[in-house]
């Protein structure tokens, strides 16, 4: 049995001006999953819904096989959520915030908490109000990681962090999934970093999932191709083609090789001038702006 860390099926949520879904999402056990999408695509809404922040209008959400509403308590014992909205200021000092959160979780690991404190350069007695923005983010992460959740969900964990802090956090996340049983689902705009450290990636746009899969498979599936054709703009009609630019007979198109091959374009009388790979970031821009 290989229960997914998170399994979302047909999730729908309607707002007056925006509809999320229906979306499917699968975070395999043991994976680090990068959840990407343009601002306002529905990433935070999706993550919030997993943790019951707001009701759904359809679909199912399972975390480690547990229904997120029916088995809420068991699920919240296994899954932690760190959102940028968390604020521990009320506990005034790091040790008090730790003491508070620690009390809720029988699985709290004091040694690991200590390791994270030194890795993140946080001090037991620091006043929370004096912490930098980045240090506050690290504190939120520490409070969620120290009870060793099986599934850790992070909304923009590296927003506003310097490159050194980012690398530290990614290092800790990779360390966390070392045992192959823990999983991380995180939304982020750090596409270069995500391409390096995630096993899986999913992109949503306007509330719909537009691709999902193993990061390397997804990135290799797409090619950026420059073409010359008597009807370059008409290529937009072809499934699997996203036109990026056209200038006269020239066109630059993103090709989803799962739907159409570059050879197929040649066979249709299109002259291929260049054909190259894309990075996750380039893929994001190519699909996100269209």
Partner 1 sequence: MVAPPKKLLIGPLSAAGPGTLYQQIVDGLKREVSEGRLPPGAPLPSFRNLAADLLVSVITVKRAYEELEREGIIYRRQGLGTFVADAADARSREVKKAHARELIQHAVREASEAGLAHREITDLLHEIIIAEGDAVHGHKRR
Binding footprint of partner 1 on the chain (CB under 8 A) = 30-32, 167, 170-171, 174-175, 177-180, 192, 196-199, 214-216
2 vs 179, beta carbon nearer partner 1: 179
- Report the 3 state secondary structure along 122-186: CCCCCEHHHCCHHHHHHHHHHHHHCCCCCEEEEECCCCCCCHHHHHHHHHHHHHHHHHCCCEEEE
188 vs 198, beta carbon nearer partner 1: 198
Shortest Å distance, C-beta 282 to partner 1: 13
Shortest Å distance, C-beta 52 to partner 1: 30
Shortest Å distance, C-beta 197 to partner 1: 5
Query: How far apart are the C-alpha atoms of 117 and 104, rounded to whole Å?
Result: 19
Q: Which two three-digit tokens encode residue 52?
A: 């019951």
Query: How far apart are the C-alpha atoms of 169 and 152, rounded to whole Å?
Result: 13
What does the CA dihedral 220, 222, 225, 227 come to, rounded to 10 degrees?
140
175 vs 288, beta carbon nearer partner 1: 175
67 vs 217, beta carbon nearer partner 1: 217
Phi, psi torsion values for 6, nearest 5 degrees: -135, 135
14 vs 196, beta carbon nearer partner 1: 196
Shortest Å distance, C-beta 195 to partner 1: 9
Query: How far apart are the C-alpha atoms of 30 and 150, rounded to whole Å?
Result: 9
Q: Which two three-digit tokens encode residue 150?
A: 């099986």
Q: Which two three-digit tokens encode residue 289?
A: 């702006």
Shortest Å distance, C-beta 210 to partner 1: 21
Q: Show Cβ contacts of residue 89 under 8 Å, excluding neighbours closer than 6 positions.
A: 128, 129
180 vs 248, beta carbon nearer partner 1: 180
4 vs 246, beta carbon nearer partner 1: 4
179 vs 247, beta carbon nearer partner 1: 179
């Amino acid at each position: 049995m290989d229960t997914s860390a998170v399994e979302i099926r047909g999730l729908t949520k309607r707002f007056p001006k925006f509809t999320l879904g229906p979306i499917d999402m699968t975070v395999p056990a043991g994976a680090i999953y990068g959840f990407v999408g343009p601002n306002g695509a529905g990433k935070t809404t999706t993550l919030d819904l997993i943790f019951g922040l707001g009701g759904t209008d359809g679909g199912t959400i399972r975390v480690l096989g547990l229904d997120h509403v029916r088995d809420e308590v068991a699920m919240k014992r296994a899954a932690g959520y760190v959102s940028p909205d968390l604020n521990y200021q009320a506990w005034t000092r790091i040790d008090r915030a730790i003491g508070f959160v620690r009390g809720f979780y029988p699985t709290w690991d004091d040694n690991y908490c200590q390791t994270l404190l030194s890795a993140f350069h946080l001090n037991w007695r620091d006043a929370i109000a004096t912490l930098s923005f980045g240090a506050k983010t690290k504190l939120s992460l520490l409070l969620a990681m120290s009870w060793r959740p099986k599934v850790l969900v992070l909304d923009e964990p590296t927003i506003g962090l310097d490159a050194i802090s980012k690398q530290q956090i990614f290092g800790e996340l990779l360390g966390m999934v070392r045992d192959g049983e823990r999983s991380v689902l995180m939304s982020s705009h750090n596409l270069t970093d995500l391409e390096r450290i995630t096993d899986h990636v999913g992109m949503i746009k306007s509330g719909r999932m537009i691709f999902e899969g193993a990061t390397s498979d997804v990135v290799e599936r797409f090619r950026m191709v420059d073409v010359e054709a008597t009807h370059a703009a008409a290529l937009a009609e072809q499934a699997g083609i996203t036109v990026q630019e056209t200038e006269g007979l020239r066109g630059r198109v993103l090709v989803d090789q799962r739907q159409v091959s570059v050879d197929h374009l040649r066979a249709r009388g299109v002259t291929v001038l260049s054909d190259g790979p894309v990075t996750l970031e380039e893929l994001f821009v190519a699909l996100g702006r269209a």
